[in-house]
């Protein structure tokens, strides 16, 4: 099956460095997206363009902000399902800022810094890793720092269109100790989308720390769509 992996804000395909090989090893065709993160609209268009290289049915997988991207890309007729990995699943007319604003601030907000053009980036200090990514091995922290990019405010402020999860099956992996996207926020979005839910204990860096569990959920989703045994 063709599987498209979409990174979150500030990220790159390096997010999936440990997940993609596991999916390829069982025969899936994996496509990695690099979004410019200048606006949600642009990232949706950029990700949709990747579908031209895919054979339907396609499974979309999004981490963090990548969930907002796949929520919109998923309207494409080639897409058969969506997997959210501690990710945003906005409703129609809703932005990421709208979702965040309904809950108390996550701990990661204390480490966010705004650039001269309004862009956002997290400050990866020792305090950040101790509080937000305590379960990420030090070697992985270096990789994350090397991959990180600033994200324009528009990716958080632009509203979503009709969400694909309304009429296509979805799966959601909740990170129960997430200090970036609150677990209660994740559970509420998953319930609203009527997603099949799995839960792991860990931080927001789930694809880097728990790649086997992420791949397992993606494989279950793929099997459900294709009818293939696992």
* Residue-wise pLDDT tens digits, 127-151: 999 999 999 998 888 877 777 788 8
Kind of pairing between the strands at 120-122 and 112-114: antiparallel
Mean pLDDT across the chain: 94
Q: Which DSSP symbol is given to 160?
A: P
CA distances from 171 to 29, 49, 81, 166, 209 (A): 19, 23, 8, 12, 19
Q: 3-state class of 4 per DSSP?
A: strand
CA neighbor of 155 nearest in space, from 99, 78, 84: 99
Q: Is 74 helix (H, G, I), strand (E, B) or coil?
A: coil
The 10s digit of each residue's pLDDT in 43-78 is 999 999 999 999 999 999 999 999 999 999 999 999
Which residue reads 């997940």 in tokens?
A: 19
Predicted local confidence at residue 136, as pLDDT: 94
150 token code pair:
């600033």
Q: Global pTM?
A: 0.96
Q: Higher confidence at residue 119 or residue 175?
A: 175
Q: What pLDDT does residue 86 have?
A: 98
2-226 domain in CATH 3.40.50.1820?
yes
User: Per mean pLDDT, which range of 34-43, 118-127, 142-151 is the poorest?
Assistant: 142-151
Domain range summary for the chain, segments of one domain joined by + = 2-226
For residues 223 and 39, give the distance between their C-alpha atoms in angstroms, rounded to a whole number: 33
What Rg, from alpha-carbon coordinates, does the chain have? 16
Banded pLDDT at 230 (limits 50, 70, 90):
low
Residues of 209-221 as b/e, b for ≥16 C-beta within 10 angstroms?
bbbebbbebbbeb
């Amino acid at each position: 099956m063709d599987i498209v992996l979409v990174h979150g804000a500030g990220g790159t395909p390096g997010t999936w460095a440990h997940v993609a090989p596991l999916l390829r090893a069982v025969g899936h065709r994996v496509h990695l997206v690099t979004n410019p993160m200048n606006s949600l609209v642009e990232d949706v268009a950029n990700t949709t363009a990747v579908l031209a290289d895919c054979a339907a049915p396609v499974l979309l997988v999004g981490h963090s902000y990548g969930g907002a991207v796949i929520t919109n890309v998923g309207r494409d007729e080639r897409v058969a399902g969506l997997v959210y990995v501690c990710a945003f699943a906005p409703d129609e007319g809703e932005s990421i800022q709208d979702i965040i604003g309904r809950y108390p601030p996550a701990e990661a907000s204390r480490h966010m810094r705004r650039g001269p053009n309004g862009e956002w980036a997290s400050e990866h200090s020792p305090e950040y890793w101790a509080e937000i990514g305590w379960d990420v091995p030090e070697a992985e922290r270096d990789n994350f720092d090397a991959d990180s990019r600033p994200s324009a405010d528009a990716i958080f402020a632009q509203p979503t269109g009709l969400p694909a999860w309304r009429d296509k099956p979805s799966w959601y992996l909740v990170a129960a100790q997430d200090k970036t996207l609150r677990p209660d926020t994740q559970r509420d979005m998953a319930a609203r989308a009527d997603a099949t839910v799995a839960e792991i204990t860990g931080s927001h860096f789930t694809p880097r720390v728990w790649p086997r569990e992420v791949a397992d959920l993606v494989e279950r989703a793929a099997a459900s769509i294709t009818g293939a045994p696992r």
